[in-house]
Each structure stands twice: as C-alpha cells, then as structure tokens.
Chains A and B, each alone.
Chain A
Amino acid sequence: EAQVTQNPRYLITVTGKKLTVTCSQNMNHEYMSWYRQDPGLGLRQIYYSMNVEVTDKGDVPEGYKVSRKEKRNFPLILESPSPNQTSLYFCASSTQTGGGRAPQHFGDGTRLSIL
C-alpha cells in the first residue's frame, strides 16, 4: 500500500529537549515536504526536498532542520524546541513533475506539544 508514515503520532515534551519526527514514503517519490498546521493559518511549508541531498527552506523554516540522506526518508529535527512550535505537523511526498502539477500524498500527522 502506498503511504507516507510519520512517527511519532503524538509527543509531549519540554522546551529545549531535541526531538526528531521521522517521515518515510514507499512510493519512490523524489519530492518530500514538511508542513505545520495551525488554527486559522492553514498549512505552511517548513522545508522541502527535491531529491536526495537537496533541501530548501519553505515559508517558516526557523527553528527546524531537515536532512535527506535517502530517497525514502525525510526527518524533521527540532534542535531546541520552544512552545511556539506546538503544532500539528504533516509530511508529504510527490513525484517530481514540472509546473507543480503533481498531487501530494500526506502522512497522518504528528501532534507536538512543547511545554
């Protein structure tokens, strides 16, 4: 079954304690992306990756890091989490086509609470 898998689904942690949210896709997609979803703001892109070892900032990258060492994985790293990073996070992937025509496949989300 084609899917994007995120872990953990829920996490409550404290300010400053490094955490990693993993994302894996089994569709051999080149493009992967992280979003955060906040009430009244919709989804905002954090980082994206066009392929292995190619990453770039989205609209709200501050406080986050990513890496793309393998095609299937795209972890999101919060080196020193702060309460304003409390949010619902989604990973997504798609095939690499020009013109932004490819639909994205989303994971089920990770709800992070930073106390």
Chain B
Amino acid sequence: GDSVTQMEGPVTLSEEAFLTINCTYTATGYPSLFWYVQYPGEGLQLLLKATKADDKGSNKGFEATYRKETTSFHLEKGSVQVSDSAVYFCARGASGANNLFFGTGTRLTVIP
C-alpha cells in the first residue's frame, strides 16, 4: 500500500556537519511531499514542501528535491546547528483529500 519510509534514527551530528535524512515513498500518481519538524514539547511545524516532480523545497537552510525516478524526498542541510535538534517527519499527501501519511520520524541531536 501507500507508505512513507524514512531513515531510522537517532542521528547525532557535530555542529556544522552535513545532514541527510532519507525519505522514500510509495503512492499512485504524484503526491505532494512535505518535511515537518517537531521541537521538544511542541507540535509539528511545516519545514518545507514540494508539490510536483523536480520541485525543490527549501527553508532555514534545509532543502529537499522531489525525485520521481527514485520516489525520494531526502532532507539535507549543509551545516547543522544545535538549534536544529528535533524530530523530523517526512510526509506525503493523498489525492482528493488533505490527509497526510507520515514516516516514523527521525530524531536529530546536534552537539556543540
């Protein structure tokens, strides 16, 4: 069935390291794709999105490119900061409704 698979964590990086969190999806058609971030004790916030193939979403130094050939939407950041420590969720939209299907989340810890 339709699903989202993302890299298992936890991920621990030193400040200024390069970040990649992998996300792949299965779906019929070309769903919209999202990355959400959850800081400790808070709800999820939209980080970035892409609505069609080859789109690149970007925000706060994070980027992800919608790759239909590999059905992937990997999250990247060139230089992480301690304040990026959070749980990151990949999600895809459903056609015909606003429902979202989430991956299991990846916890990122950035150490000084």
Contacts and interface: CB of A to CB of B under 8 A. Distances in A.
Contact of A100 (B43, B99, B104): B99
Interface residues of A, number: 30
Contacts of B104: 40-42
Interface residues of B, number: 26
A109 B45 CA distance: 12
Given A42-B89, A108-B43, A109-B43, A100 B98 contact: yes
Contacts of A44: 102
Contacts of A97: 98
B49 interface: yes
A104 B42 contact: no
Contacts of B103: 42
Given A42-B103, A42-B104, A42-B105, A102 B98 contact: yes
B98 A94 contact: yes
Contacts of B92: 100
A100 B102 contact: no
Contacts of A42: 89, 102-105
A74 interface: no
Nearest to B93: A100
Contact of B34 (A45, A90, A103): A103
Contacts of B42: 108-109
Given A4-B43, A99-B32, A101-B49, 18 more contacts: A31-B98, A33-B98, A33-B99, A33-B100, A40-B104, A41-B104, A43-B44, A43-B102, A96-B98, A100-B32, A100-B96, A100-B99, A100-B100, A102-B98, A103-B49, A104-B100, A105-B46, A106-B45
Q: In the A-B complex, list the 9 residue pairs whose CB atoms are closest, starting with the nearest.
A: A100-B93, A106-B43, A42-B104, A103-B46, A43-B102, A31-B98, A42-B102, A106-B44, A101-B32
17 contacts: A33-B99, A35-B102, A41-B104, A42-B102, A43-B100, A43-B102, A92-B44, A96-B98, A97-B98, A99-B93, A100-B31, A102-B98, A106-B36, A106-B43, A106-B45, A108-B41, A108-B42
